[in-house]
């Protein structure tokens, strides 16, 4: 659990959660256990995705994957342990809360658990698995991206809004922002799998082609994919402007996600 949790992840999800909350002047101490739990949920999903029965990956962030280090049985249990401990960590955060603050906290937890479950990330992973070795439709690819990656990013922004008691209009804008960076994140992943630097990425490139995987790039081509990322970056940043609080960090985060080289 420790090995994978401290293997050098970007911490994108907890950062997004905390910085949304901070921008809206919410209590960062309250959201912290949710942010920690979120990173554990994300990490467990990577451990299980890398397993031989799933993507069968040997490298993650430049290091051997969990099952390569500790064996398959331990990797399965480390994943289960991180999912369970993520929930335990989030539940610990209820300490000292009551009334509306407690209801909001539990509301955020519901959103996170729903986004990571069968109607979110796990559903996306199942669809992804079923899509292997065949050309998929645009609708299927959208389903996979929306559920496997965007659902958690959206839940991060939503929980930041809930803890900071954001206005519905603000919440709506930030959710649109998160959907755009979620899709951009996935397309950039697909682009980097073709054009990325193996050393910087910490994993071999070309795995999508090797696994005969349909991606945004294989369906639309490289040029259209890059244009789409630029468009999503522009839209995401545009969503932030009218909110009327300091969204500098969220703007930088959107630009980073769209322009990242790893």
Under the criterion CB under 8 A, does residue 92 sit at the interface with its own copies? yes
Give residues 107-126 in contact with its own copies (rule: CB under 8 A). 109-110, 113-114, 116-118, 122, 125-126
CA distance 166 to 89: 24
Under the criterion CB under 8 A, does residue 106 sit at the interface with its own copies? yes
Stretch that binds its own copies, among 8-16, 78-86, 157-165, 202-210 (CB under 8 A): 78-86
Under the criterion CB under 8 A, does residue 83 sit at the interface with its own copies? yes
User: Residue 207 CB, nearest distance to its own copies (Å)?
Assistant: 17
User: Residue 42 CB, nearest distance to its own copies (Å)?
Assistant: 13
Binders of its own copies: how many residues, by CB under 8 A?
39
Under the criterion CB under 8 A, does residue 147 sit at the interface with its own copies? no
CA distance 11 to 151: 16
CA distance 42 to 129: 18
Under the criterion CB under 8 A, does residue 74 sit at the interface with its own copies? yes
Helix 121-130 to helix 138-145 angle (10° resolution) is 140
Tell me which residues touch its own copies (CB under 8 A).
1, 44-45, 48, 51, 53-54, 71-74, 76-77, 79-81, 83-85, 87-88, 91-92, 94, 98, 102-103, 106, 109-110, 113-114, 116-118, 122, 125-126, 129
């Amino acid at each position: 659990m420790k090995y994978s949790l401290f293997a050098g992840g970007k911490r994108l999800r907890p950062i997004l959660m905390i910085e949304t909350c901070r921008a809206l002047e919410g209590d960062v101490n309250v959201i912290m256990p949710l942010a920690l739990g979120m990173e554990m949920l994300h990490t467990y999903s990577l451990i299980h995705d890398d397993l031989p029965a799933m993507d069968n990956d040997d490298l993650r962030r430049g290091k051997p994957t969990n099952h390569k280090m500790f064996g398959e049985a331990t990797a399965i249990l480390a994943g289960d342990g991180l999912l369970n401990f993520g929930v335990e960590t989030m539940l610990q955060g209820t300490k000292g809360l009551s009334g509306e603050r407690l209801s909001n906290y539990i509301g955020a937890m519901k959103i996170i658990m729903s986004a990571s479950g069968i109607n979110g990330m796990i559903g996306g992973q199942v669809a992804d698995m079923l899509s292997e070795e065949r050309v998929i439709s645009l609708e299927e690819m959208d389903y996979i991206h929306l559920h496997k990656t965007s659902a958690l990013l959206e839940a991060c922004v939503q929980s930041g809004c809930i803890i900071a008691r954001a206005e519905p209009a603000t919440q709506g804008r930030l959710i649109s922002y998160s959907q755009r960076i979620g899709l951009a994140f996935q397309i950039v992943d697909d682009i980097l799998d073709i054009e990325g630097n193996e050393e910087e990425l910490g994993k071999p490139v070309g795995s999508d082609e090797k696994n005969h995987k349909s991606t945004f790039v294989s369906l639309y081509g490289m040029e259209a994919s890059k244009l789409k990322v630029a468009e999503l970056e522009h839209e995401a940043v545009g969503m932030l402007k009218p909110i009327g609080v300091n969204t500098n960090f969220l703007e930088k985060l959107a630009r980073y996600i769209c322009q990242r080289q790893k």
